[in-house]
Amino acid sequence: MLFRELPAAVSVMALLLSGLTGCDSPTTTRTATDPGTPPFTAANGESPATPGSVAVAKGAAAPTETGAPLPDSLHLISPGRAGRLRLGMTEKRLKNVVSADLLTPTTYQDRDGRRLPAYELRDAQHPEAPATILHLIGDSAGGFRVRRIRIYSSQYRTAEGIGVGSPFGAARQNLGLTRIRNTPAGLAAVSGEVQLAWVIDPNSLPNKPPEQIQSSEIPPAARITGVLLYK
């Protein structure tokens, strides 16, 4: 009697195991060559997705560039901020958070030809590093505030470890690409969602006028020589 009922029990057990396996199976599959992410730049140059932008905006953990150093809080780049520096902060506030002996007054010329104040900021922790340039806007009556931040020191990096010295491909993959534009600082690739622009080493660009270079022509291995923060 026991042997007669055994095949039926085995069949029921097989069905139960099959059901459990189906619950654990993923609804989609990926291959090594298909990471399941959309392209970062469409044919028209617009970015349909900007992977990593949420991590930069919120300071959350994200995949980092292999071997890249991660910044401390004084050198962390995020949208509108570089350490204690913040776009829109008043000149008075700037002098409250930065020692006066680290600031060297200078000027810059805007698109309208106006000569406006600026500062060169030395890094107290890394005095050998290139100075960070702070462009101000405003007037003497209403006061001045920080308009742009230009970073040339490799100490400043995003939460993904991307900064001066990183390959352009790492910035494009992690932070997306909206467009490229020619700036006074050089040809820059703009990550619009996180309001960062990456100045590209001109020696690694095609031998043609900057305004004729397409984003697809920038080699992934091209090095970033500057980071621009803007609003």
Q: Which CATH number is 155's domain given? A: 2.60.460.10
Where does the pLDDT of residue 41 fall: very low under 50, low under 70, confident under 90, or very high at 90 and above? very low
119 within domain boundaries: yes
215 within domain boundaries: yes
Where does the pLDDT of residue 142 fall: very low under 50, low under 70, confident under 90, or very high at 90 and above? very high
Residue 32 pLDDT > 60 = no
CA-nearest of 177, 158, 218 to 51 is 177
Average pLDDT over residues 209-216: 88
Where does the pLDDT of residue 65 fall: very low under 50, low under 70, confident under 90, or very high at 90 and above? very low
Query: Under 8 Å CB-to-CB from 142, ≥6 apart: which residues?
Result: none
26 within domain boundaries: no
Where does the pLDDT of residue 70 fall: very low under 50, low under 70, confident under 90, or very high at 90 and above? confident
Q: Whole domain around residue 138: which residue ranges?
A: 53-229
19 within domain boundaries: no
20 within domain boundaries: no
Identify whether the C-beta of residue 163 lies closer than 8 Å to the C-beta of residue 77.
yes
Domain count of the chain?
1
User: Sign of dihedral through CA atoms 211, 215, 221, 227?
Assistant: positive
Q: Rounded CA gap, 143 and 139, in Å? A: 5
36 within domain boundaries: no
Residue 15 pLDDT > 60 = no
210 within domain boundaries: yes
7 within domain boundaries: no
pLDDT of the residue at 71: 85
pLDDT of the residue at 24: 36
Name residue 223's beta-bridge partners: 167
Question: For the whole model, what pTM was predicted?
Answer: 0.70
